[in-house]
Amino acid sequence: MSPVEIRPFEAGDLTACGALLAQRHRRQRLAQPLLSPRFEAPETAVAEVTAAFKAPDASGAVAIRAGVPVGFVLGAPKTSPLWGPNIWVEAAGQAATDAETMRDLYAAAATRWVDEGRTAHYVVVPADDQELVRAWFRLGFGQQHAHAVRPATKLDTKPLAQDLTVRRATRADIPDLARLDLELPTHQGLSPTFSAGRIGTVEESLADWADDIDNPEYATFVAVRDGTVIGSAIGCALEKSSSHLGPARPDNAGFLGYAAVFPPARGAGAGRALGTAVVDWAVDSGFDCVVTDWRVTNLLSSRTWPRLGFTETFLRLHRTIGY
């Protein structure tokens, strides 16, 4: 086999690298047919790679063998301080005919990223491509997050505990919804997740809910036990999410965007009941599938959502340089 040349990604590489992305997506859909077929079309894939290349401060590398591109990686920073001095390789930002080549591509691209002071690296990888995932693991990355999908079909559910019900939220529930808004970021700040996400205030959440409780684009549910709200969940169209982009965004998908249960009430099935309510809402709303995501170190969500039939589509991997 002829040697591979690694060089910086250039505008002239867009068409060939778009074709590589289309081939990758075609392989992935054999394992995950709920993903959109649109990205199997080279012209659609080229448009995604072009958008990644034109993102502010984007850069990357391309691998050439015998004059033909056989792999690429493209990353760009996000402005939110939550992610540190970062670079992101999103779902359309990589493809290779040989997973091992990705290690050479990252080595070349990361030289510039680190020289620019970008030491927090994130990459979104197809979950079914175990060789590619392993290549990233052998670059010092670990799994941080999971994206997942399930068909929009009604769940066969166990009967709820006698004292537990799930219903749509009303304006009278706003004080409880505001307090529940703080539960997920609070929980994820604890071991073993240790997320650095900002925890807002009840007052901020009260104001947000006063404006949004009647928004028809969101379906908010509450779990109630003995007349007391103990948890909440929100469903919406996936287009409302900024985390599921390009090939990682199935068509006509509902989104389980948020769920939380007060700590004393956990372990009694409220989270599962809330997730089921959102899935059933998505079915009744005419969506073809339902998407969610979770931190894999969140022991609650990483166990509950797969039990509702969600299967991983993409993995977000993370590496911090210098430690």
Average pLDDT over residues 156-178: 88
Residue 189 lies in a domain: yes
Same domain for 174 and 303, yes or no, is: yes
Same-domain pairing of 211 and 304: yes
Regarding whether 164 and 297 lie in a shared domain, the answer is yes
Written as one letter, the residue type at 173 is D
When the pLDDT of each residue in the chain is averaged and rounded to a whole number, the result is 95
Within-domain flag for 104: yes
pLDDT computed for residue 160 by the predictor: 72
Instruction: Determine, yes or no, domain membership for 146.
Output: no
Q: At what angle do helices 130-137 and 99-115 cross, to 10 degrees?
A: 40
Identify the band that residue 322 occupies on the pLDDT scale cut at 50, 70 and 90.
confident
In a domain, 321, yes or no: no
What mean pLDDT is predicted for residues 162-186?
Answer: 94
Examine residue 163 and state whether it is found in any structural domain, yes or no.
Answer: yes
Same domain, 75 and 174: no
- Among candidate residues 117, 140, 163, the one where a domain is terminated: 140
Residues 262 and 304 occupy one common structural domain: yes
Among 93, 108, 140, where does a domain finish?
140
The verdict on 163 and 304 lying in the same domain is yes
68/173 same-domain check: no
Long-range Cβ contact pairs of 180-186 (< 8 A, separation 24 or more): 180/229, 180/231, 180/232, 180/260, 180/261, 180/262, 181/205, 181/208, 181/209, 181/260, 183/260, 183/261, 183/262, 183/263, 184/258, 184/259, 184/260
Q: Are 181 and 233 contacting, i.e. CB atoms less than 8 angstroms apart?
A: no
Residue 51 backbone dihedrals phi, psi, to 5 degrees: -65, -40
128 plus 158 within the same structural domain: no
Question: Is the same domain home to 21 and 91?
Answer: yes
pLDDT band at 323 (very low <50, low <70, confident <90, very high): confident
Q: Does 263 fall in a domain?
A: yes
**Whether residues 172 and 77 fall in one domain:** no
CA separation for the pair 266, 289 (Å, rounded)? 27
In a domain, 134, yes or no: yes
Tell me the per-residue pLDDT of 261-276, one tens digit each, with 9 for 90 and over: 999 999 889 999 999 9
Residue pLDDT, tens place only, 17-27: 999 999 999 99
Lowest mean pLDDT segment, chosen from 102-106, 113-117, 196-200, 233-237: 196-200
pLDDT at 304: 95
Name the least confident of 6-10, 209-213, 314-318.
Answer: 209-213
- Verify that 226 and 284 share a domain, yes or no: yes
Whether 319 is covered by a domain: the verdict is: no
Q: In this structure, are 105 and 216 located in the same domain?
A: no
- Asked if pLDDT for residue 48 goes beyond 80, the answer is yes
pTM for the model stands at: 0.95
**Domain range for residue 62?**
4-140
pLDDT recorded at residue 159: 67
The pLDDT tens digits for 279-291 are 999 999 999 999 9
**Angle, alpha carbons 291-275-37 (nearest 5°):** 15
Residue 1 pLDDT:
65
> What is the rounded average pLDDT of the residues 141-155?
96
- pLDDT recorded at residue 197: 78
Q: What's the rounded mean pLDDT across residues 167-187?
A: 96
* 197-202: average pLDDT: 88
Give the pLDDT confidence score for residue 50 in this predicted structure: 98
Residue 300 has pLDDT above 90, yes or no: yes
CATH number at residue 229: 3.40.630.30
Q: What is the pLDDT of residues 231-258, one digit of tens each?
A: 999 999 999 998 899 999 999 999 999 9
Q: Answer with the one of 140, 173, 202 that is the final residue of a domain.
A: 140
pLDDT of amino acid 80: 84
Number of domains in the chain: 2
- Mean pLDDT over 146-154 rounds to 97
